[in-house]
Amino acid sequence: MRGIRQLAHDLDISIGTVSRALNGKPEVNEATRKRVLEAAARLGYVANQSGRSLRQGNSSAVGFVIESGGRAAENNDNFFMGVFDGVQSVLSQHRLDLIVLPCSTNDDPVEFLRRIVARQSVDGIIISETQRIDPRIELLSAAGMPFIALGRSQSGANCSWIDLDFEGVANQAVDRLVLMGHKRIAVAIPDNQINLGYVFRDAYRSALARHGLASDPELILKARLSVEGGYQIAQRILALKTRPTAILLVYELMALGLYRRLGEAGLSPGRDIAVIGFREGAQSSFLSPALTCFRLSLHALGVALARSLLATMPAYRAHFPSEPRRRLWPLELVPGESDGRTR
């Protein structure tokens, strides 16, 4: 005999009472509850999750789908670790567990998600790296699985999402650069279909237009979001007839490759070309020159993701009556040395 049956037998009470005591049901006699709780702690009893899930029709877990391998691994970047922590801090208050589900770049992300949904091992899902057109959103909506996307998409008219405020970043960066006298401002965006690339490019164009500056297609540089991508972008900048005097990077670690290639050409970032990165990382202020970039709290972002997700789940909705379903997450400029303050 094992499990709850064993525990009930040891205590000489029924499994129903044990279950009720453990789950904090109000009708249990306090003395009984105390005995049960003590025995459970002593024996290390915790309910088998499959048994609970099967009976209750839910899993008490939320899945967070991320990409693993390939490009994901090359982005030397712990963005998600910080976010997980924020998500978890909210979930744990509601006795929900966070399960991270890494989808290999070799697997089809849609099929991967389809299986997760069908197996019913999570009650809600957070998806990330949203594509411009993202069939996963359709899939989740059709399946009735509560979810939230980290990143906007053109798919899913009604779905919840939180996204970084790319418009705000582009505006602040362009304003700052124009104020310093820059007229030829380049932008580095990803070379794949991830939606943030389009969003950032459009925001950059609008910001230029606001200042009466035309957007030059040769200053929109697509590359991998990686250190190496930054190197290649510098390479392309160096080859231009008329070089930009400033560049805006959608991924901050590109700065390292950019710095390196500029250095090899005898150019100095911050002096010869102004550089503004995207998200502040642990390294930003230690680069030479320190990278001007934008700060956000990953923990707070995770908290917001979890709250907005729970707000879409019937069983938790009541706790989050006025939680926004969609949010642009603000970032705050952190001045560095890379944008030519000293020129």
Partner DNA sequence: CTGAAAGCGCTTACAG
Candidates 4, 90, 219, 227; binder of DNA (CB under 7 A) is 4
CA dihedral sign, ordered 24, 25, 31, 32:
negative
Shortest distance in whole angstroms from residue 237 CB to a copy of itself: 16
Query: Does position 321 bind DNA by CB under 7 A?
Result: no
Residues 298 and 152: beta-carbon distance below 8 Å: no
Tell me, residue by residue from 56 to 75, as one string, x for binding to DNA by CB under 7 A and - for no binding.
xx------------------
What residue 2 binds from DNA, a copy of itself, none (CB within 5 to 8 A, per partner kind)? DNA
The pair of structure tokens assigned to 325 is 């379903």
Q: By C-beta, is 302 or 340 nearer to a copy of itself?
A: 302
Among 13-21, 82-90, 303-311, 334-342, the segment contacting a copy of itself (CB under 8 A): 82-90
The pair of structure tokens assigned to 309 is 């997700």
The pair of structure tokens assigned to 279 is 């998200």
Question: Alpha-carbon Rg of the chain, whole angstroms?
Answer: 25
DSSP string, 67-124: EESHHHHHS---HHHHHHHHHHHHHGGGT-EEEEEEEETTS-HHHHHHHHHHHT--SE
Q: How far is CA 315 from CA 50, 77, 312, 318, 319, in A?
A: 19, 34, 9, 7, 9
Shortest distance in whole angstroms from residue 48 CB to a copy of itself: 5
Candidates 14, 23, 29, 48; binder of a copy of itself (CB under 8 A) is 48
Query: Does position 181 bind a copy of itself by CB under 8 A?
Result: no
Positions that interact with a copy of itself (CB under 8 A): 44-51, 53-54, 59, 66, 68-70, 72-78, 81-82, 84-86, 88-89, 92, 97-102, 104-107, 114-115, 118-121, 226-228, 230-231, 253, 256-257, 259-260, 263, 281-283, 286-288, 298-299
